[in-house]
Amino acid sequence: MVRWRQRPQEVPLASDPSSSFVPTIIGAMVFLSTLVLGAALAIEGVADGWQITGQQYRATIEISRKSASEETVATSIDVLAQLPGITRVRVVGDDEILATIEAWTGGRPDLELLPLPVLIDVEALSPESLRSDIIEQILEETAGAVTVYVEPQWLIAVRSTVGTVQLVTALMLVIIALISVVSIVYVTRTALSIHQDTIETLHQVGAQDSYIAIQFQNQSLFLALMGGIPGNVLAILIMMFLTRELSGSFEAPLLPAVSLETGEWLFLGALPVVAAVVAMVAARVTVITSLGRMP
Amino acid sequence: MIRFENVGLRYGSGPEVLHDIDLTLESGSGHYLVGPTGAGKTSLLSLLYLGRRPTRGLLTMFGQDVATATRSALTGFRRRIGVVFQDYNLLDHLSAFDNVALPLRLVGTDPDMVRDHVHQLLEWVGLDTMAGVKPPFMSGGEKQRVAVARAVIGQPDVLLADEPTGNLDETMADRLMMLFMELNRHGTTLVIATHNTRLPQRFPHPVLHLQEGFLKAGRPW
Ligand SMILES: Nc1ncnc2c1ncn2[C@@H]1O[C@H](COP(=O)(O)OP(=O)(O)OP(=O)(O)O)[C@@H](O)[C@H]1O
Ligand SMILES: [Mg+2]
């Protein structure tokens, strides 16, 4: 067993049965949470690629350059903003449009040859606020003929699925965290009763509760890392394999790749540390509250 | 000064084992605590070392009612109390050295100083060659001496010894008693529970006589 310091452990926790139980349970929990969180991030990444995240529903209104004087655009925006349920109205800048086209064509198009329409983005909290027939009718007066592109029905379905995935992920993570905390509390309570005589003696010779708690929390931190790191590494390897497989099979243009960003990988890699800190705090709180009830 | 006023003690819901204890121990005093087995000597000491609180009455130590003292105050008091337990209460997984060093380490004493002090004491109790040995591999008398060394190393204000010479021959018993007397001369309040009638004769101090949980006047012998 690894020694933390030169000094001996006054409470001999290293030989407890928990020294194999905690790494196993925390290892499994970190493994699961890495996979769950990794999957959720990947799904969100795909959804981001389709621009379907968030709670907003969107429509894009296209006004032809010819009929769109600055004044017309400004009045149209005012009118749209006053419609019920609309949360945001903005003109899509030319740069933004050009960048999008550039991604398609691979080069910057000549603005002379390609007269861009004016695009207005509208966001609303519910799809009912974005009925294309109504919007077209209203804008008829100010801007003449316009075309309204509303999000297709399937995209709305995907959006609500993504929302559900996030919810389920959060729920699973909460359950995993609860199982971990309950296990640590249980293990710590067991250790407290195994070592009750030692603890009483330590108290008698002048040890503070916090001094005793440090021994338990260090052990808990150490054991959680012992299990958490391998569990995490294994899950990340699986994630790497899967993302590579999946992005290979969806090799179609315009479809976002199933992948994680560097920051997201790092985030996943930090999970064992998070688990270890949780285990440490759980052990400490358990010891302090239990000792507080002793004479 | 330690003061018992009408103190009673019971274990859990069992019968009362100490009754109506009225007692004042002046600072720097020395007493023997005697009485037949089961009379309540260890129980009385457990109140003194703050292992238990009285179930009734008032116990004042270090100028404070122990019933109302906070946990951290109690820890502070315990650091000023050295205890030789009847069954030693050594930590089996620690060497003799580490057991004796414990009280000093807990208050953050400099490691070099800890080492010197511990070796010095182990030498005095005749265990300098056993510093690295753990209690399960020691005889009763050896453990008893480790327990004594641990109790005195912090130069406590109060020293409580429960049958500290029970497993020792006369020579070694006298040696330890001299250590206690030395501390007592330097101001440590001393209470020694013992069945050994020889000790009060050889190292005279007033005797507290417990019988069936009551403090009696006079000596039993
Ligand atoms: N932990 C305990 N739980 C319940 N009863 C106890 C406990 N410890 C002691 N007693 C009871 O308290 C009474 C006094 O015991 P105590 O140990 O104080 O006696 P003692 O004078 O130290 O005896 P000895 O000389 O044998 O050491 C006894 O009747 C004993 O049975
Ligand atoms: Mg006893």
pLDDT digits (tens, 9 = 90+) for B71-126: 999 999 999 999 999 999 999 999 999 999 999 999 999 999 999 999 999 999 99
* Higher-scoring residue by pLDDT: B114, A156: B114
The model's confidence at residue A50, banded by pLDDT at 50, 70 and 90, is: low
Q: For residue A2, name the pLDDT band (cuts at 50, 70, 90).
A: very low
What's the pLDDT score for residue A235? 97
Nearest ligand to the CA of B17 is 1
Residues 6+ apart with CB under 8 A from B116: none
Minimal Cα distance from B97: which residue of A? A8
Mean pLDDT value across residues A69-97: 82
Where is average pLDDT lowest: A168-172, A258-262, B19-23, B129-133?
A258-262
In the reported structure, the alpha carbon of residue B18 is separated from the centroid of ligand 1 by a whole-number distance in angstroms of 10
A205-214, A246-255, A285-294: which range is least confident on average?
A: A246-255
How does residue A248 score in pLDDT terms, banded at 50, 70 and 90? low
Please determine, for residue A15, whether its predicted confidence score (pLDDT) is greater than 90: no
**pLDDT confidence band for A5 (50 / 70 / 90):** very low
Could you tell me the distance, in angstroms and rounded to a whole number, from the CA of residue B35 to the centre of ligand 2? 10
Position A142: which residue type? T
Q: What is the band of A130 on the pLDDT scale with cuts at 50, 70, 90?
A: confident
Give the pLDDT score at A62.
83
Taking CA–CA distances from B90, the nearest residue in chain A reads: A201
- Tell how many helices (H) and how many strands (E) occur in chain A: 9, 4
Q: Cα of B73 to ligand 2 centre, how many Å?
A: 27
Chain A residues with CB under 8 Å of B107 CB are 206
Tell me the backbone φ, ψ of residue B28, rounded to 5 degrees.
85, 0
Tell me the average pLDDT across A157-171.
83
Res. A4 pLDDT band, cuts 50 70 90: very low
B213: Cβ contacts below 8 Å, ≥ 6 apart: B16, B17, B18, B19, B39, B40, B43
Chain A: closest CA distance from residue B78 (Å): 5
pLDDT tens track for B32-61: 999 999 999 999 999 999 999 999 999 999
Q: What is the DSSP letter of A8?
A: P
Pocket lining: B39 vs ligand 1, CB cutoff 6 Å: yes
Q: How far is CA B154 from CA A140, B80, B97, B117, B165, in A?
A: 94, 8, 14, 10, 20
Beta strands in chain B (DSSP E): 2-10, 16-25, 30-34, 56-61, 64-65, 81-84, 158-162, 189-193, 207-211, 214-216
Q: Tell me, what's the pLDDT at A84?
A: 85
Give pLDDT, residue A51.
60
User: Once rounded to an integer, what is the mean pLDDT over residues A148-160?
Assistant: 73
- As a whole number, mean pLDDT of residues A88-103 equals 77
pLDDT at A27: 97
For residue A249, is pLDDT > 60? no
Confidence of residue A30 (pLDDT cuts 50, 70, 90): very high
pLDDT, mean over chain B: 94
Q: Does A137 touch chain B (CB under 8 A)?
A: no
Q: What is the pLDDT of residue A103?
A: 64
ipTM (interface predicted TM):
0.92
> Which of these, B127, B206, B134, B192, lies nearest to B161 by C-alpha position?
B192
When pLDDT is averaged across residues A42-63 and rounded to a whole number, the result is: 72
Place of tokens 């109504």: A134
Mean pLDDT of the residues in chain A: 83
Q: How far is B140 from chain A (nearest CA, A)?
A: 18
- Average pLDDT value for residue range A54-66: 75
pLDDT class of A78 with cuts at 50, 70, 90? confident
CB neighbours of A1 closer than 8 A, spacing ≥ 6? A14, A15, A19
Taking contacts as CB-CB distances below 8 angstroms, the residues of chain B near A200 are: 51, 89
pLDDT given at position A228:
97
As a whole-number percent, the residues of chain A with pLDDT over 90 amount to 40
Ligand with minimal distance to B34 CA: 1
Q: Residue A198 has what pLDDT?
A: 95
User: Atom 30, ligand 1: which residue's CA is nearest?
Assistant: B38
pLDDT tier for residue B192 given thresholds of 50, 70 and 90: very high
Tell me how many degrees the CA angle A87-A51-A118 measures, rounded to the nearest 5. Answer: 65
The model's confidence at residue A92, banded by pLDDT at 50, 70 and 90, is: confident
Q: Which residues does chain B have within 8 Å of residue A8's beta carbon, measured at their own beta carbons?
A: 93-95, 98
Q: How many angstroms separate the CA atoms of B141 and B113, rounded?
A: 27
- CB of B137 within 6 A of ligand 1: the answer is no
DSSP secondary structure code for residue B1 in this structure: -
Residue A284, pLDDT > 90, answer: yes
**The two structure tokens encoding residue B25:** 């121990």
pLDDT tops 60 at residue B141: yes
- pLDDT range class, residue A6, cuts 50, 70, 90: low
Of A142-146, A275-279, B123-127, which one has max mean pLDDT? Answer: A275-279
pLDDT on residue A7: 64
> Quick check: A119 and A94 in contact, CB under 8 A?
no
A3 touches chain B (CB under 8 A): no
